[in-house]
Amino acid sequence: METMLDISSLSRSYDDVMVVDDVSFTVVPGRVTGFVGANGAGKTTTMRMILGVLAPTSGEVLWDGRPITTAQRRRFGYMPEERGLYPRMKVREQLVFLARLHGITREEAARRATELLEHFDLGDRADDVLDTLSLGNQQRVQIAASLIHRPDALVLDEPFSGLDPVAVDAMAALLAKEAGDKPLLFSSHQLELVERLCDDLVILSHGKVVAAGPVEELRGRGPDRYRVSLDGGDIAWIRDLRGIDVRDVDGATAVVDLCGVSASELLSAVVARGPVREFTPVRQSLSAIFREATR
Amino acid sequence: MTTTSIPPTTSPYAGTDSVRGAWRVVAEREITTRVREKTYRYSLLAMVVGIVATVVLSSLLGGKPTDHTVGVVDERGAGIVTAASAEVDRADDGSSAEPRELASAEAAEQAVRDGDIDAALVPTDDGYEVIGDKEIDGTLSAALTSAASGQVLESNAEEQGVDLGELTAGSAVSERLLDADAEDAGSRQVAAFVFVLLFYVTAVTFGMTIAQSVVQEKESRVVEILAAAVPIRALLWGKIAGNTVLALGQIVVLVVTGVAALAATGENGLLSSIGPAMAWYVVFFVLGFVALAGLWAVAGSLASRQEDLGSTTMPGQIILFAPYILAVAAGEGVKTVVSLVPVLSAMIMPARMAEGGVPAWQIAVALGGNVIGAFLLVRFAARLYERTLMRTERKIGFGEALKLSD
């Protein structure tokens, strides 16, 4: 059995305003879970509660089915939304310090810091003071800081913001390698990125989970939608068919939702009227799901 | 593959008992960061130089031996001056009086006026006259007077065939001090003042270091990562421990410098009388510093930016400044009372001990009060620190912090 990270009915209020309201979801090990929601939806607050930096008003975080301990939380890797490291401390020294806080020996910490810095091509900047690095490089060091102690789980708040596409790819590759079979939760505004990287998705709106599950499943949710194209001619007659809901008609192409007939029944009906060039199921885009869920 | 929540203890990533060790890592960073700072090293150096200068100067000004040259016009006068020299040496450690033969009373007077000699001893019709320019050294004058009367008495007695020993039998007067500590009273007061001054300066310096170190972590937001890695209390213990070591190190360096300087200038008497007070001073300093260290950390955690420290560190500044002023300005009675009040006593008691004559029970009360005071204050501060550290958005007042829930 692999170790799951369960978020169970977490709530947090500030001055009677519910910022996070009864949020529950599971971060499955070995799968990348994306955490999306509009600004102020409660993503950061939820992540801070998972890390124990903020106490929940109610609810709990479970690790392996049991309430999580402080010792276990220390074995998590965390990248807060508001980036922060010691600006006047040397890069490697800083990483070694953080690793030692997590209980790792100095020697091992130094080895690990060198390894991570080299991965980011920052090996030659190891003895430079952090704030002499460019912002992009500081961001890389920040990621290294969250990975320095080989965490059991990763919770990253907007890890890709401020990175160029090449850096995003490099970081995504590193995260995939580092996370391996461990739970990885990250939040992001960049839906294409989430679509590309995530296996599971949790959508938060106004402090509540409005959709959660495997990305494929979420996209498959909703009506069975098909695009039908004839090999020439006008398809307007499709409106007369029963058991479908026509969403759009444009010349020889129509988009319809099935409501009562099966896909093969629809296909037979269309083929009966002439040659068909295209008949494909339409999967919802993530942004459509997101818009729908947070509407 | 099977994973469990308990990592194998042999792995360097196990971190089993590291929750307890985290404060040491924090303390170590506090120390290494500070020691590398140039301002830290220069200010310590300046204080060391200051102490050496104080000891050397006071030794030069206070106990400098003087060799008085006294003009005489006859053999008897020369004898009186030679006899007086022993008296001058006894009264004013290492000083002496030396006769210089001059032709006449007029010549002697002129030599005094010219500053060639310190004084002149010239015979008059009914004895001798000590002539000085603007003033005559008190010790010298007294020694000359007593030597002159002694010599004249002796020769008169001889002339008249009287046994001087018999005549003066039973007239010997010797001194015995009940409060032997009162010797060096002036030097001891200086020592007490230096104690208080260095206590104040060191405590404020390292108190501010704690507050700044906390607010820097809030400003740079690294505190969020730290709080996710270790319990907030471990951060507090680490800061208190690290800065206490630094402050203690500084005090020890200064005390050792003081001892070495006193020994080098030959002030062994003063050294042996304030030596115990110096040892207690270090003990009281540690207790007093630890008691306030938590409050300095809270001052940092209430602030959201460096600029807020001015107001949030006010309580700490006052708690240190009050006994400093009292130690300098207050009377004996007030000082005695304050030297028994926990925390304030940490500064006042060693100063009183340097001045001497403090009953043992008062020292015990001050010590016990400080141990309890430090314990309670640190606990209180830890609660406030935990409640306020993660609130980075704005400055929080002390009153507001007390009302906050966890």
Domain count across chain B: 2
pLDDT at B247: 93
A258: amino acid identity, one letter: L
pLDDT at B14: 43
Which residues from chain A sit within 8 angstroms of residue B389, using beta carbons?
none
Span B270-284, mean pLDDT?
86
Q: Give contacts of B 205-244 with A, CB under 8 A.
A: 216-217, 220-231
Judged by CB atoms closer than 8 Å, whether chains meet at A53 and B2 is answered as no
pLDDT (tens digit, 0 to 9) for every residue of chain A, 295 residues total? 467 899 999 999 988 888 999 999 999 998 899 999 888 889 999 999 999 888 899 999 999 889 998 888 889 999 998 888 999 999 999 999 999 999 889 999 999 999 999 988 888 999 999 999 988 889 889 999 999 999 999 999 999 887 888 888 888 888 888 888 889 999 988 888 888 889 999 999 899 998 888 988 887 777 788 899 988 788 888 888 888 888 888 888 998 888 888 888 888 888 888 889 999 888 777 777 788 777 7
From B101, B126, B160, the end of a domain falls on B160
Please count the residues of chain B: 406
How close B216 comes to chain A (CA, Å)? 8
Judged by CB atoms closer than 8 Å, whether chains meet at A84 and B21 is answered as no
Are B155 and B200 contained in the same domain?
no
From B160, B177, B200, the end of a domain falls on B160
In-domain check, residue B165: no
Are B210 and B307 contained in the same domain?
yes
Judged by CB atoms closer than 8 Å, whether chains meet at A101 and B33 is answered as no
Which residues from chain B sit within 8 angstroms of residue A89, using beta carbons?
33
Q: Is A90 on the interface with B (CB under 8 A)?
A: no
A276's torsion region: left (phi>0), alpha (psi -120 to 50) or beta?
beta
pLDDT at A240: 86
Judged by CB atoms closer than 8 Å, whether chains meet at B221 and A51 is answered as no
pLDDT at A15: 81
Q: Is A29 on the interface with B (CB under 8 A)?
A: yes
Q: Give contacts of A 2-21 with B, CB under 8 A.
A: 2-3
Which of A2, A84, A100 comes nearest B25 by C-beta?
A100
Burial of A144 from C-beta contacts in 10 A (0-12 / 13-18 / 19+)? buried
In-domain check, residue B49: no
Judged by CB atoms closer than 8 Å, whether chains meet at A53 and B25 is answered as no
In-domain check, residue B394: yes
Span B85-95, mean pLDDT?
73
pLDDT at B300: 93
The span from the CA of B369 to the CA of B374, in Å, is 8
Query: Who's near B356: CB < 8 A, 6+ residues apart?
Result: B179, B181, B182, B185, B188, B273
Are B143 and B189 contained in the same domain?
no
Which of B22, B220, B406 comes nearest A87 by C-beta?
B220
Q: Give contacts of A 49-88 with B, CB under 8 A.
A: 51-55, 63-64, 66, 70-76, 78, 80, 82-87
Are B92 and B218 contained in the same domain?
no
In-domain check, residue B22: yes
Judged by CB atoms closer than 8 Å, whether chains meet at A84 and B220 is answered as yes
Which residues from chain A sit within 8 angstroms of residue B216, using beta carbons?
86
From B143, B160, B177, the end of a domain falls on B160
Judged by CB atoms closer than 8 Å, whether chains meet at B228 and A149 is answered as no
Cα dihedral value A240, A245, A251, A253, nearest 10: -120
Are B242 and B317 contained in the same domain?
yes
How many CB atoms sit inside 10 A of residue B173's CB? 4
Query: Who's near A76: CB < 8 A, 6+ residues apart?
Result: A50, A51, A151, A152, A153, A154, A155, B228
H runs (alpha helix) in chain A: 43-51, 70-73, 91-101, 106-119, 135-147, 165-179, 191-197, 215-220, 263-271, 286-294
Are B311 and B388 contained in the same domain?
yes
Confidence of residue B381 (pLDDT cuts 50, 70, 90): very high
In-domain check, residue B115: yes
Query: Contact at 8 Å (CB) between B61 and B128?
Result: no
The span from the CA of A216 to the CA of B272, in Å, is 85
The range of the structural domain enclosing residue B357 comes to 8-36+185-403
Q: What angle do CA A102, A107, A108 make, to 5 degrees?
A: 55
Q: Which of A181, A162, A158 is nearest to A41 (CA)?
A: A158
In-domain check, residue B167: no
Are B240 and B380 contained in the same domain?
yes
How close A93 comes to chain B (CA, Å)? 10
How close B1 comes to chain A (CA, Å)? 8
pLDDT at B16: 42
Judged by CB atoms closer than 8 Å, whether chains meet at B7 and A70 is answered as no
Are B189 and B297 contained in the same domain?
yes
Optimal mutation site among B2, B4, B5, interface A, most CBs of chain A within 10 A: B5
Are B202 and B124 contained in the same domain?
no
pLDDT at B65: 63
Which residues from chain A sit within 8 angstroms of residue B25, using beta carbons?
97, 100-101
Judged by CB atoms closer than 8 Å, whether chains meet at B223 and A84 is answered as yes
Query: Contact at 8 Å (CB) between B120 and B103?
Result: no
Q: Is the pLDDT of residue B75 over 90?
A: no
B240: amino acid identity, one letter: I
The span from the CA of A277 to the CA of A271, in Å, is 10
DSSP A233-268: S--GGGGG-SSEEEEEEETTEEEEEESSS-HHHHHH
In this predicted structure, which of A160-169, A282-291, B59-68, B148-157 has the lowest mean pLDDT? B59-68
Judged by CB atoms closer than 8 Å, whether chains meet at B21 and A70 is answered as no
Nearest CA in chain A to B4: A3
Burial of B395 from C-beta contacts in 10 A (0-12 / 13-18 / 19+)? middle
Are B265 and B150 contained in the same domain?
no
pLDDT at B9: 36
pLDDT tens digits along B168-210: 777 777 766 665 555 567 778 888 888 888 899 999 999 999 9
Which residues from chain B sit within 8 angstroms of residue A100, using beta carbons?
25
In-domain check, residue B376: yes
Q: Which of B289, B102, B269 is nearest to B187 (CA)?
A: B269
| C-alpha dist (Å) from residue A51 to A30, B93, B211, B278 | 19, 73, 26, 48
Which of A54, A84, A181 comes nearest B225 by C-beta?
A84
Are B359 and B249 contained in the same domain?
yes
Are B191 and B156 contained in the same domain?
no
Query: What CATH number corresponds to the domain at position B135?
Result: 3.40.190.10
B287: amino acid identity, one letter: L
The span from the CA of A78 to the CA of B223, in Å, is 12
Q: Is A1 on the interface with B (CB under 8 A)?
A: yes
Question: At residue A14, what are phi and psi to the nearest 5 degrees?
Answer: -120, 120
Nearest CA in chain B to A63: B5
pLDDT at B214: 94
Q: Which of B367, B215, B235 is nearest to B301 (CA)?
A: B215
The span from the CA of B41 to the CA of A174, in Å, is 43
